[in-house]
Amino acid sequence: EAQVTQNPRYLITVTGKKLTVTCSQNMNHEYMSWYRQDPGLGLRQIYYSMNVEVTDKGDVPEGYKVSRKEKRNFPLILESPSPNQTSLYFCASSLFSPGTGKTGELFFGEGSRLTVL
Partner 1 sequence: GESVGLHLPTLSVQEGDNSIINCAYSNSASDYFIWYKQESGKGPQFIIDIRSNMDKRQGQRVTVLLNKTVKHLSLQIAATQPGDSAVYFCAETPGGYQKVTFGTGTKLQVIP
Q: Note the residues at the interface with partner 1 (CB under 8 A).
A: 4, 33, 35, 37, 39-45, 48, 50, 56, 58-59, 88, 90, 92, 96, 101-111, 113
Residues 111, 109: Cα–Cα separation, whole Å? 6
Shortest spacing between CB 81 and partner 1, in angstroms: 19
| Residue 40 or 62 with smaller CB distance to partner 1 | 40
The CB-of-111 to partner 1 minimum distance in angstroms stands at 5
Closer residue to partner 1 in complex, CB, 48/78:
48
Closer Cβ to partner 1, 41 or 79, answer by number: 41
How big is the chain, counted in residues? 117
Distance CA 57, CA 47 (A): 5
Beta-ladder partners of 45 = 35
Q: Which residues pair with 92 in a beta bridge?
A: 33, 108
Q: Cβ 76 to partner 1, closest distance in Å?
A: 15
Nearer to partner 1, 56 or 79 (CB): 56
CA dihedral 99, 101, 106, 108 (to 10 degrees): 90
Work out whether strand 87-94 and strand 107-108 pair parallel, antiparallel, or are unpaired: antiparallel
